[in-house]
Structure 1
Amino acid sequence: MRSVLIRGVLNLPLILLILLFVCPPGVRAAPPEMSIDGFYSLPQVIGTSPEAAVWSPDGRHVAFLWNDGGYPFRDVWLYDAGRDSLRRLTDLGGANARSETARGVTEVAWLASGDQLAFVFEGDLWTVAAASGQSNRLMSSEEREHSLRPAPGDDRFAFVRSGDLWVLDSDDARAAHRLVYTESGKVAVERYRWSPDGDRIAVVLADKRRVPVRDIHFYAEGEHRVHRVSRPLPGEETTRRRIGIVDAQEPNDALWLEHPALHPVYGIAWSHAGDRLLVDSSSFLLEERNVRTYRAQTGEATLHYRFLEPRQLNPAWSAAWAPGDRGLVILSDRGGRYHLYHQAEPTGELRRLTGGEWEVSSFEVDADGGSIYFAANKDHVADRQLYRVPFDGGDIENLSQRPGTHDAVYAPGFGRAVVRHSSDTRPPDLYLLATRQPGAAVPVTHSPLQTFDTHRWAQVRYIEFASHVDGTPLVARLSLPANYTPGHRYPLIVGSVYADTVRNQWGGRTSHPTWGLDQVLVARGYLLLNVNVRGSWGQGKSFRQGLLSGYGGIDIDDLESGLRHLVDEGLADPDRVGIWGSSYGGLMTLMSLFKKPGLYAAGIAGAPASNVWHAFPEQMWVMGDAVGDYGDRYRAQSAYYHSQGLQDPLMIIHGTADDVVFYADSLALAERMIDQGKSFELVSLPGVSHAWDVDSLSEARFAFNRMVRFFDRHLKPENAR
């Protein structure tokens, strides 16, 4: 019995006594109140998500980062897969154990001997003995170390500090040597990979020396501050890249490969024999994807795979070496959906490994077992389940089976996997899965607090409907109150709106911690709708391509289609519909209010991208290139130029230190709307970044409470108090 479960059992009599005292037999206890202050305070009722799982070299143990008490401070935990036992390996919290801001250990890696691990804590390098839990700080510096990768075969490991690549022997911290020296702040190691024999390291350098630098001015704590950032705009100089193969013992011995400097690199991989390096890249606007292989000794390049697509909007591709180095396995949407192909010879014929009206999101090659393991939405568009297909042909086997989102880390030999699973009804936890004889997964962690199951959480359904504009099939995630009554029309909130929001995982879209906000809104009597708008992954290339040059166009039409469907079905009250989103979702919110006045009774735009001239150059994948006669095209996609249409209540929330979407753009929009005689609310968060609901719990509480009050005021749900 694991320690986590033992603690719960020991506390059980006390819990029963408390329940009997508070709620005598025959009287049903009321579910806990759902509130922003309650959900965004510590400890969090959903617990702390286990992260960064890594297997020991012998495949017996799994190390990962976790906190079993619902606090953000993570320690290293160790799970023995053979004995089904779990223990905390480090205990570093001290006075910070219950802090809102301390994150604890941020990375962990097994060393090749298997008896110790390296980890990063407060930016410093440490090791810990797997048997005893004895920790040792190896290096301490003002700079922060990150990107740990152990060397194959011995207890060396590499890491990045201030953009430079270092190699360290865990037995002798004084012997650390800098392998790749860069110009700090301008050139940095972007990614790297050890060769199978541990003698060489392939590196990708990101060079920002030609990228424009901008100053972000803001006030925080009563003082004027300036953040200077490398921040290009559409049409300006972007990051250049350089790829090299470096001798792991001789810092000055490097082979630099011929590769287009302005092409982004999406992946590098050594062949199983270690004699060749794969580089997966494309032109900046994605219209030409190339997978090249390089001879490790000479740098001789071979173009193995090439695909031209002038309307590519999403580089969700990858590539790997096939078993026995018999060519490459390619993930590509060349056939209309993201599927796996085998290309045995350079520029040769492709053999399809998967196919169907679904898409593969990621894969790994079991070279010894001759199988491909992959994640896909094969069973439902919102799911990410685990599958296996024989490399030489055969049936696809579902390994995970349970609906939801599964993220697997496979053990050496692929006989086991530790899987982080989450669904609409359960927060993330780790499970052990046997891949040879798939069956019931064995729980490794239990993250939610004991009070989690006493709440009346929202019901989640998936609905399908057709676009009212062109008939395209659309899918949406619908959240309903736990006491939902058929035939009753509810106020509806569309959002948070963004691409890729239709996911069967706790909280839906997880890049923002809006799970608690969503639950509070539903408990107050709202329906919540997330639509898989055009441009989203999972429904094929033509569906994604529908967004081309279309920010604030077909995407907001898709949102309207979902709204119309719920009104037609008798679920939503057409006079009480709100909308909200952040960043691109803020753009869609503004465009929906500006271009469809009267459709929404209120809208909230967080950090809204109101001026696409100030977007990142990568947004040209959608907006189109900033060359030639592009002014009308960019104006059509910029909410700033459509504000005259505003008639309905609008709130804008923006952090003043945002270097992704400039706070100045919200001020410019505010000035324009003031000149136009418009009424709106502006909530400024001093010193807060683009992730305005992630920076701190206090800011999340403040902003989310403002949002709830705003929607209650304008949409008047029955349960608002």
Structure 2
Amino acid sequence: MMKFRVSVHAMSVALAIASLNAAPSASAQQQQSQAVAGTSFSLDELYRYKSLVGLEPLGYSWAADSSAVLFLWNDEGYSFRDIWSWSPKTGQKTRLTFLGKDSKPEAEARGIAQAVFLANGRIAFTLGGQLHIREADGTVVKAEADKRGIRKLTVSPDGSKLAFIAAAPTGTPVAGGGQLWVRDTKAGEGATATRLAGSDDPKLYIEDFKWADSGKAIAFQQADDRAMPERDIYYDAKGKLQNNRVIRAFPGEETSKTTVGLVSLAGGQPRLFERPDAKHDVWGYGLSHDGKKLFVSSADMEAKEHTIYLYDAATGARETFYQLREAKHLRPDWEVAWAPGDDGLIILTDRDGWLQLYHQKKAGEAPRQITSGKWEIASFEVDDKNKQLYFTANKSALQDRQLYRVPVAGGKIEQMSGPAGGTHEPVYSPDFSRIADWYSNDDLPPELFVIDTAKPGKAAQVTKSPQPEFYGQTWAKTRYVQFPSHVDGMNLLGRVSVPANFDPAKKYPVIVGSVYSDAVHNQWGGRRAHPTWGLDQYFVAQGYIVLTVNIRGSWGQGRDHNQTQYESYGETDINDLESGVRYLIAQGYADPRRIGIWGSSYGGLMTIMSLSKKPGLYAAGIAGAPATNVWHAFPAQMWIMGPPEGPDMPRRYEAQSALYQAKGIKDPLMIIHGTRDSVVLYSDTMALAEQMIQREQMFELVTLPGANHPWDAENIPQTRFSFKKMVEFFDRNVKNRK
């Protein structure tokens, strides 16, 4: 029998009701039963402009002296984020801007995108792609008014300069790219920045940069999309024909070429550091602390060969520092940083089968392993002064992301976050004295906490985001289960949510989803890529069990777990989902006749493949924006599906494409897709629809005019509409199945 933990909210509500009347009437008993079954909110109440769970605090940025941290938040739960600060000394948070006070909730404005400290109590921030400065007296002025798409504000180590990226002045701006500019931090409203790098051609752009410790130079990453194909995506919306023209490559076509460069603030042309193959992806780069060396971490398009090049910053001379090739490698989760004192590099790699930290001092030598174990590290930072490494890992439990530190020399690993499970996303202060921590768990929506690194395990809660009504509801009970694959015995992890009055003697309908890789997290709502926290809670409140599975190809369970997904879209992954279904059925409380499945994008591929290859296992499935044709995937999907050539083509790609595998679908299918989608083409859904019509296979199609790939996250009316369609479909075909 499974034992589920009861959330604090569920317990408090149940006890409060029990104390009201020792002998309740039949009507009161019925109301009590409904109250502890789950939230009483409708989908309209769960998804509203004044968010029930609040607006998560984002955009953490520390002052240079670590005396305060900025964050972007709305304490009322509306979508417009203003700037707030928190002081470790006083423990007080302060709202610094009030620009969202006049915004209309239904506009769903995102508000301020980024904020950083300048000198003398001033703050630079971006709003609507424009640079603004909040003066020390609270007044706000606009700067660099002739530029658009300003992003990535970064202050130099000495605090004297502010660098940023702005869109090229002509053409359509590339998302996240443009020209590199720098201006004095003391400059006022009318000052003009100096351009250091970047072209007027929007297809040749700077996408990232990093300051040298000296503040006299900047290393940058430049992308060149000029050889990539452009595609027209025509769709009807707002009463007329529209065109979403995008730069978009398919597997085998020309992709973006990336170059790392270095530019001096004193002037002159940037130096570009060439690699043997500019088509290879760059996964990291960085200048040494003394500014004399630069590393570039890169990999081939299939992520099978990881190479770190080391350059002389003055001459551009290159040597191969590190290289490892694995024929079935799937995930480019590598990270690289300079070791303290420029004593070689710290490398996060899975060379022993698990993502762990290594220290390599010289080119070609065997790296020394710092951490080890059957758990994985997601990211790390180097505390140069104290010669320590801070990292995020699932050491405590597969579903957790806890914070730790370890000496560079190796030794005892110290947990920095508290004992409670959950997910932490840290931003470290410059002196590593404190950690601004985005934290959430299954019972707690995301909040900002600040950890004092001198007191591991202790954190101050800065924000309280949910609305008062949140605390009066009874939410689902969630726990994690492990079970073997029914195919090869591999250990699998599942996240299971059940009604608060769960009775293991009953038979419950089950929703498997939303299915995807990396889908199992101990955080509010599970996955963050889709706003399905409320949909899942609604399903559970209506008497469903909701299951997600950490399928092969996911992070956190080692190389043997994820590499079995190689060239196996729609095969190994859907077997893992079936293993989760079999596990719940074997426990006795999942009704085998009432199992539904759904997912979006890759999850849509798995949904259609599951219905086709496993008829009768699922009563019905919903595929959102389904990636039915891997010939039209992004080239990065070649990590898993392999290159689009070879003696086994086209069979290999057709075997991984739902478009060619849908003949076996007999159970009810709903497809939800936006017509503007540039990630998964709506035309691929039309191709599948045409084939199914010719085969007289019945299905339902929900078309969202003008919607892009994140079809359930673009606006509240569309979210409500889509989720209501899903609930009606699953109630009809799963819950109330005859």
Q: Tell me the TM-score normalized by structure 2.
A: 0.92
Is 2:125 the counterpart of 1:119? Answer: yes
Q: Deviations over 1:97-121 (max 9, x none)?
A: 534421110011223x362221101
Is 2:660 the counterpart of 1:654? Answer: no
| Contact 1:71/1:100, CA 8 A, preserved across alignment | no
Q: What SS does the aligned partner of 1:621 have? A: helix
Distance 1:225 1:25, change over 3 A: farther
Spell out the pairing of 1:145-224 with structure 2 (5 A cutoff).
Answer: 145-162=150-167, 163-170=178-185, 171-172=187-188, 173-224=190-241
1:230 aligned partner: 247
1:41 aligned partner: 48
Spell out the pairing of 1:424-439 with structure 2 (5 A cutoff).
Answer: 424-439=442-457
Q: 1:378 offset after TM fit, Å?
A: 0.1
Q: Deviations over 1:182-228 (max 9, x none)?
A: 14331111211111111111111110110111100001111101111
Of the three residues 427, 445, 456, the one matched with 1:409 is: 427
| Contact 2:595/2:619, CA 8 A, preserved across alignment | yes
Q: 1:535 offset after TM fit, Å?
A: 0.6
Q: Deviations over 1:8-66 (max 9, x none)?
A: xxxxxxxxxxx99xx99999997562221111112111000000101101111000100
Q: Deviations over 1:208-264 (max 9, x none)?
A: 1101111000011111011111111111111111221111242x4211112231111
2:480 aligned partner: 462
Cα distance in 2 for residues equivalent to 1:295 and 1:135: 43
Q: 1:716 offset after TM fit, Å?
A: 2.2
Of the three residues 517, 538, 545, the one matched with 1:527 is: 545
1:676 aligned partner: 695
Of the three residues 663, 669, 675, the one matched with 2:682 is: 663
Is 2:114 the counterpart of 1:107? Answer: yes
What stretches of structure 2 of length at least 5 have no aligned partner? 1-15, 168-177
Of 708-717 and 579-588, more deviation after overlay is shown by 708-717
Q: What SS does the aligned partner of 1:453 have? A: helix
Distance 1:520 1:371, change over 3 A: same
Of the three residues 312, 318, 342, the one matched with 1:301 is: 318
1:347 aligned partner: 364
Q: Deviations over 1:324-382 (max 9, x none)?
A: 11111000001000000000111112111100010000000101011100000000001
1:60 aligned partner: 67
Q: What SS does the aligned partner of 1:372 have? A: strand
2:105 aligned partner: 98
Q: What SS does the aligned partner of 1:409 have? A: strand
Cα distance in 2 for residues equivalent to 1:716 and 1:331: 46
Which structure carries more relative contact order (alpha carbon 8 Å, separation 6+)?
A: 2
Is 2:545 the counterpart of 1:536? Answer: no
Cα distance in 2 for residues equivalent to 1:509 and 1:446: 21
| Contact 1:497/1:582, CA 8 A, preserved across alignment | yes
What is the percent sequence identity of the aligned residues? 46
Of the three residues 669, 690, 699, the one matched with 2:718 is: 699
Is 2:269 the counterpart of 1:253? Answer: yes
Cα distance in 2 for residues equivalent to 1:78 and 1:671: 55
Cα distance in 2 for residues equivalent to 1:66 and 1:677: 51
Cα distance in 1 for residues equivalent to 2:192 and 2:22: 68
Cα distance in 2 for residues equivalent to 1:314 and 1:121: 34
| Contact 2:415/2:457, CA 8 A, preserved across alignment | no
Q: Deviations over 1:507-533 (max 9, x none)?
A: 101111110110001100000100011
| Contact 2:301/2:635, CA 8 A, preserved across alignment | no
Q: What SS does the aligned partner of 2:612 have? A: helix
Spell out the pairing of 1:529-608 with structure 2 (5 A cutoff).
Answer: 529-608=547-626
Cα distance in 1 for residues equivalent to 2:611 and 2:367: 47
Of the three residues 349, 355, 363, the one matched with 1:332 is: 349
Equivalent position amino acid for 2:666 in 1: Q
1:143 aligned partner: 148
Is 2:367 the counterpart of 1:365? Answer: no
| Contact 1:481/1:523, CA 8 A, preserved across alignment | yes
Q: What SS does the aligned partner of 1:492 have? A: strand
| Contact 1:149/1:158, CA 8 A, preserved across alignment | yes
Is 2:639 the counterpart of 1:633? Answer: no
Equivalent position amino acid for 1:119 in 2: F
1:16 aligned partner: none
Q: Deviations over 1:133-173 (max 9, x none)?
A: 33221122462211111122133211111111111224144
Q: What SS does the aligned partner of 2:102 have? A: helix
Cα distance in 1 for residues equivalent to 2:343 and 2:156: 25
Is 2:57 the counterpart of 1:50? Answer: yes
1:84 aligned partner: 91
Q: 1:505 offset after TM fit, Å?
A: 0.6
2:3 aligned partner: none
Cα distance in 1 for residues equivalent to 2:346 and 2:369: 10
Q: What SS does the aligned partner of 1:488 have? A: coil
Q: Tell me the TM-score normalized by structure 1.
A: 0.94
| Contact 2:371/2:410, CA 8 A, preserved across alignment | no
Equivalent position amino acid for 1:367 in 2: D
Q: 1:409 offset after TM fit, Å?
A: 1.1
Equivalent position amino acid for 1:505 in 2: Q
Is 2:735 the counterpart of 1:716? Answer: yes
Cα distance in 2 for residues equivalent to 1:375 and 1:707: 36
Cα distance in 2 for residues equivalent to 1:49 and 1:513: 12
Cα distance in 2 for residues equivalent to 1:610 and 1:660: 12
Q: What SS does the aligned partner of 1:430 have? A: strand
Equivalent position amino acid for 2:64 in 1: P
Of 562-571 and 152-161, more deviation after overlay is shown by 152-161
| Contact 1:100/1:697, CA 8 A, preserved across alignment | no
Cα distance in 2 for residues equivalent to 1:671 and 1:414: 58
| Contact 1:359/1:540, CA 8 A, preserved across alignment | yes
Cα distance in 2 for residues equivalent to 1:344 and 1:509: 38
| Contact 1:58/1:114, CA 8 A, preserved across alignment | no
Q: 1:125 offset after TM fit, Å?
A: 0.3
Equivalent position amino acid for 1:153 in 2: D
Of 228-237 and 182-191, more deviation after overlay is shown by 182-191
Aligned CA RMSD, in angstroms, stands at 1.9
| Contact 1:235/1:626, CA 8 A, preserved across alignment | yes
| Contact 1:320/1:330, CA 8 A, preserved across alignment | yes
Q: 1:717 offset after TM fit, Å?
A: 5.7
Of 516-525 and 25-34, more deviation after overlay is shown by 25-34
Of 270-279 and 136-145, more deviation after overlay is shown by 136-145
The alignment of Structure 1 onto Structure 2 pairs a total of residues equal to 696
Cα distance in 1 for residues equivalent to 2:482 and 2:184: 56
Cα distance in 2 for residues equivalent to 1:353 and 1:136: 49
Cα distance in 1 for residues equivalent to 2:120 and 2:294: 27
Of 559-568 and 433-442, more deviation after overlay is shown by 433-442
Distance 1:436 1:179, change over 3 A: same
Cα distance in 2 for residues equivalent to 1:341 and 1:290: 15
Q: What SS does the aligned partner of 2:651 have? A: helix
